[in-house]
Structure 1
Amino acid sequence: MRKFFLGACMAGSLIACNPAQEAAVKDEIIYHVFQRSFYDSNGDQHGDLNGLRMKLDYLQELGVTSILMTPLYESFYYHNYYSSDFSAIDSTYGTEEEFLQLVREIHRRGMKIYMDMETQYVTEDHTWYKDSYGNPSSSYSEYILYDDAEQRKPSSIVFDIHDLKGYDGTVRKITTVNLLSEKVKQYNRSLFSYWLDPNQDGNFDDGVDGFRLDHMMDDLDNKRRLTNLFKDFWVPLIDSLKSINPAITIMAEQADWGSYGIDYLENAGVDWVFGFRIQQAIRSFDKDRVAAYADTTFARTPQGKNQVIFIENHDIPRFATAMAQDEGKEKVGATLNLLLGGIPSLYYGQEIGMLGDSYFGKYGGITDANEIPYREAFEWHRDKDGEGMAYWYRGSGPWWDTSTVKSNDGISYEEQKADANSLWNTYRTLIALRKQHPVLISGHYEPLENTSNDIFTFLRTDGQQQALVAVNFSATPEQLSVSLTAKGGRTIYGNGEGRIEGSQLTSTLTGYETQVWLLNQ
């Protein structure tokens, strides 16, 4: 959550292991976009819906298939969590009709769109809060969780917070919604259902393909007041949504980032959770830790469910910053993000190595501005003042003054597109490799030991093909020797200087190199 301070046939697969289904394998790669920062279509410095629609060609050029947006509903906060009105789209993004145009165009291109939702909290500006505060006779009294009978003490939210300061100095009170209220349950069914089929014609070309459920918990904020939410709130809601469109996908952000999310997959009715332990392991740049967490994550994931694999999102410092702008390490991150297994998710700007550090505690205490550094304007141009730059945070104080968006620094789409060795082209090539070899999409993950202390190896297997992925975590060349059950194979990515003799693969990997071998069956 942290908005403001702080293979086919086994687990990790997409479809059942059935050769007849191979032709139906479709890649899904999510592009997690912070739309306010993506592309400004009308010159007001806010990224918007039309701007995103204008850049769909870019997303397809990169090769992603799906878009995950941050919340769209009205809020006093730039990130649009903590809503003042769930039913209205923030006017700085555009109109509802512009959103529907975007959805239809995404579907026309064969892509998907997911909507981020957090309906557990509201600000003092929401009708439920305004009407019920100090008014026990209000028809909205049961919508809000109060700590007193007079309804003058709205319950705190996560981390015992009662209000939050915005980056522009605005302070709003925030409280918890009573998710166990039958009226609240009905409201959520209506709200979520609307976005599945806005014109109610049974044709889902204008509806979203699913939802991300932010900060999902069984006992909301561990306060022992809203308990058994999986069974009493989320499962009935998800079941009702899937009765409308069975093809939708529900992904849950588990509130505990140390969790594998297995209880969500088993008990909460969701399809995907987020691979936080893998994300954390990748940032450690410890190959044994990556292997251990990948083994556990994929082994424990129930069949038919999945993990969203990511190295960046809107709540954590940028990967390039964490790797001290070491391009070799950034490319290792790209490999693991895209080839390890599960459903890959790229955070906008990750593909060009955008920067952004944590500002927690540096300026202004608890404020929603502390995460602006990793939600900056996407760098489209060599010139930082080029067309469409979404500088909604211009003049915001230290967050603007220390912006990492600069001209001629190599971190832009314009600068990297023509460079075959750029990070952007690495992402594009790896995504294309997946599309060329379905085993890298649907194959289940299998751990594979080797003789090197620095090379991480694993298999992707789908019953028809097997691919071996080797990743050098060292900056220096390393020798790889690994035993196989396959007899022969060929490199499909990397320098191709290795060989397979009998059941032994030997190769040399240059610093931070990835090699992918397609093995004979």
Structure 2
Amino acid sequence: MKKTSLSHLALSVLVSLSTLGSPEAVQAQDKKVSQWPRGITYEIFVQSFADSNGDGIGDIKGMTSKLDYLQELGVEAVWLMPINPSPSYHKYDVTDYYGIHPDYGTMADFKEFIKQAHKRNIKVVMDMVLNHSSSEHPWFKDAVKNENSPYRDYYVWTHKNDPQTQKEGRPTGADSDNTRHWHKVEGSDYLYYGYFYGGMPDLNFDSPKLREEVFKMGRFWFTEIGVDGFRLDAARHIFPDERPHDNHQWWVYFRSEMLKANKDVYLVGEVWAPSDVVAPYLKGLPALFNFEMSWDILKAINEGRGDSLAIKHAKITDFYQSVNPDFIDATILSNHDQNRIMSSLNNDQNKAKVAASLLLTLPGSPYLYYGEEIGMTGKKPDEQIREPFLWDTKAKDKSRTTWLKPVYSTEATVAPLAVQKKDKNSIYNHYARLISLRNSSKALTYGKLEPISLENKAISAYTRSHAGENVLVVHNLSGQEASVTLPTQLETYTNTLFKTKGANLSKKTVTLPAFSSLVLKK
């Protein structure tokens, strides 16, 4: 029952605002031209987001109570990290693909959350973990006990005396321990395959029965519950690394089946790799996270050099468009598996603001990791990049979760949201202004990217153009003021749409204080 070829499958289907809530903010919402999935998505770790019942654990009702906040911020979708029953705090080892973890609430709670989100024009994307189940899943427990179990073929097995099989599926590169993905079963002569660790046995996608079970699961969440899409965990590892073509084909097959359940299905995949590895997945997963640009933005800001950022982004997007003209570039600064962007920038709020300015003015459909907009900090281990959201000061905060004592994001290091809302210079208001600008601009939401070369290498400059709207964006990624004279072809960009820290245009010269941004319009 080792993983073999998929060739037998039928795969042919292929605005400058200081605070939210102001009249200007309401007006900007009325002018919104972005439309999801080209809009902004907000990633939520439910356990840390908002607690409704005082047990210290974030839950669905708590999350529902914060939908107005997300709507005001300008978010058009939420991605929920796993909400299924699981023995772990992170819940990436599922024990019931049709249920809700009891700590988070009930299915009725989740249906109400979807209903309330949709009332606010917010889509709901849930994490779907298909690479593996939990070792505590009833399927696996039955398969371990009984070699003739109907679920035995749902997993991948080898005999302990078959070393050749145990070499299959190993990762490429330096990390190539032949046997570390195979795990022993006490009292058995068989081993099972688990790419990540023994508590997460891989599902066997060479099994027609397993594939049909997966389709059934997907149809359930789309048709009976009403979710709008899936974020697909570990999309690169459905089959072992030496079978990339089967991985690519599987997602085409999966999408074709999901389209039968929801003609507007949204699938975004996690393929943690450079663009040349990511691109072939675009035929089955039109939306993929752009990890490469997140790495490049961080590197550029820490080095104080922005001249190649737009060039690199244009190269990637042109490449992706050649594979799938309708691709959706899911851009990020960080997520639940990465050190938080604020910590990666040495807690420098000026750098964090310019990172946000880049994310929200470059092409793509941006994802914000919860708390990023208030400058939450965090470094691995994973629990400490998933710490509780700070809604208000401790004495007033009725929603803050307490399941984990924070190490990084405390009131000593991060001003709570309620405090930041009152500070026009806060990182929260920086995000709010940028999101409002982006959501009301066709050029920034949909526009073509044209990199601009200027003499100062600290500056990242580019134009965005769509449907007659043209904007020029310039960022200074360094700690020193920079001035540049606009070339002749850019002299018609004379109207200021957005600026930070006194950036300005005067007599064809753009002056950019350290870590500042300027957006101009014709």
The letter for the 2-side match of 1:34 is: F
Listed one character per residue, the Cα deviations across residues 403-442 of structure 1 (whole Å, up to 9, x for unaligned) are: 1232354421022101011100000000111123221111
**In structure 2, what is the equivalent of residue 244 of structure 1?**
261
Query: 1:254 pairs with 271, 278, 302, which one?
Result: 271
Q: Which residue of 1 aligns with 2:446?
A: 442
Pairing of 1:427-438 with structure 2 (within 5 A): 427-438=431-442
- Secondary structure of the 1:256 match is coil
Query: In structure 2, what residue type is equivalent to 1:491?
Result: T
Where does residue 193 of structure 2 map in the other structure? Answer: 156
Aligned partners of 1:154, 1:102: CA distance in 2, in Å? 41
Alpha-carbon distance in 1 for matches of 2:105, 2:354:
38
Question: Counterpart of 1:196?
Answer: 222
The residue number in structure 1 matching 2:363 is 341
The 3-state SS of whatever aligns with 1:174 is coil
How far apart are 1:392 and its partner, in Å?
A: 1.5
Contact 2:470 2:521 in 1 (8 A): yes
**Cα distance, 1:24 vs structure 2:** 6.6
Whether contact under 8 Å (1:383, 1:408) holds in the other structure is no
Query: Distance in 1 between the 2:122 and 2:274 partners?
Result: 29
Structure-2-length-normalised TM-score: 0.82
- Within the candidate set 209, 212, 224, 1:183 is matched to 209
The equivalent of 1:315 in structure 2 is: 337
Kept in 1, the 8 Å contact 2:459–2:475? The answer is: yes
Q: 1:325 aligns with which of 339, 347, 368?
A: 347
Match in the other structure for 1:235: 252
Q: How does 1:289-304 map to 2 (within 5 A)?
A: 289-302=308-321, 303-304=325-326
Match of 1:517 in 2: 520
* Matched residue, 1:276: 291
Q: Secondary structure at the match of 2:121?
A: coil
Cα pair 1:384 1:407 within 8 Å, conserved: no
CA distance 1:209–1:31, shift in 2 (3 Å): same
- The Cα shift of 1:356 comes to 0.5
For the pair 1:459 / 2:463, whether they are aligned, the reply is yes
Q: Please give the per-residue CA displacement for 1:192-226, whole angstroms capped at 9, x wherever unaligned.
A: 1111121xxxxxxx5111111111126624265x9
**Cα distance between partner residues in 2 of 1:208 and 1:332:** 34
Displacement of 1:257 in angstroms is: 5.6
Task: Check conservation: 1:384, 1:406, Cα contact below 8 A.
Answer: no
Q: Which residue of 1 aligns with 2:177?
A: none
How do 1:19-58 and structure 2 match up within 5 A? 25-26=34-35, 28-58=39-69
Q: Aligned letter for 2:94?
A: S
Deviation at 1:240, TM superposition (A): 1.4
Change (3 A) 1:76 1:410: closer
**Higher share of residues assigned strand:** 1
SS in 1 for 2:270: strand
**Alpha carbons of structure 1 residues 322 and 89: separation in structure 2 relative to 1, 3 Å:** same
Q: Equivalents in 2 of 1:388, 1:479: separation in Å?
A: 46
- Does the 8 Å contact 1:63/1:431 carry over to 2? yes
Are the equivalent residues in 2 in contact too, given 1:337–1:345 (CA < 8 A)? Answer: no
Contact 2:306–2:460, Cα closer than 8 Å, also in 1: yes
| Alignment partner of 1:142 out of 138, 142, 153 | 153
Residue aligning to 1:103: 114
Equivalent position of 2:498 in the other structure = 493
Residues in 1 aligned to 2:135 and 2:193: alpha-carbon distance in whole angstroms:
12
Is the 8 Å Cα contact of residues 218 and 227 (structure 1) preserved in structure 2? no
What is the aligned-residue identity percentage?
28
Name the aligned partner's letter for residue 272 of structure 1: A
Q: TM-score, normalised by structure 1?
A: 0.82
Count of residue pairs brought into register by the alignment: 454
Please give the secondary structure, in 1, of the residue aligned with 2:354: helix
Q: How does 1:219-234 map to 2 (within 5 A)?
A: 220-222=239-241, 228-231=246-249, 233-234=250-251
Distance 1:111 1:217, change over 3 A: same
Of the three residues 235, 239, 243, the one matched with 1:216 is 235
Q: Which residue of 2 aligns with 1:9?
A: none
2-structure distance, mates of 1:301, 1:221:
23
Are the equivalent residues in 2 in contact too, given 1:154–1:175 (CA < 8 A)?
no
Letter in 2 for 1:459: T
Structure 2 counterpart SS, 1:328: helix
In structure 2, give the amino acid aligned to 1:191: M
Give 3-state SS (helix, strand or coil) of 2:192's partner: coil
Change (3 A) 1:140 1:75: same
> In structure 2, what is the Cα distance between the partners aligned to 1:87 and 1:442?
36
Task: Quote the offset at 1:329 in angstroms.
Answer: 0.3
- Residues 260/479 of structure 1: CA separation in 2 closer, same or farther (3 Å cut): farther
Distance, in Å, in 1 between the alignment partners of 2:497 and 2:204 is 54
Which of residues 469, 478, 483 in structure 2 aligns to 1:479? 483
Tell me if structure 2 keeps the 8 A contact 1:144–1:154.
no
SS at match of 1:447: strand
> Quick one: distance in 1 between partners of 2:145 and 2:241?
26
CA gap 1:484/1:210 in 2 versus in 1, 3 angstroms: farther
Tell me the distance in 2 between the aligned counterparts of 1:353 and 1:259: 32
1:506 equivalent in alignment to 2:513: no
Give the alignment's Cα RMSD to 1 decimal.
Answer: 2.3
In the aligned structure 2, how far is the partner of 1:219 from the partner of 1:35?
Answer: 26
The whole-number CA distance in structure 1 between the counterparts of 2:239 and 2:265 is: 25
AA at the equivalent of 2:363: G
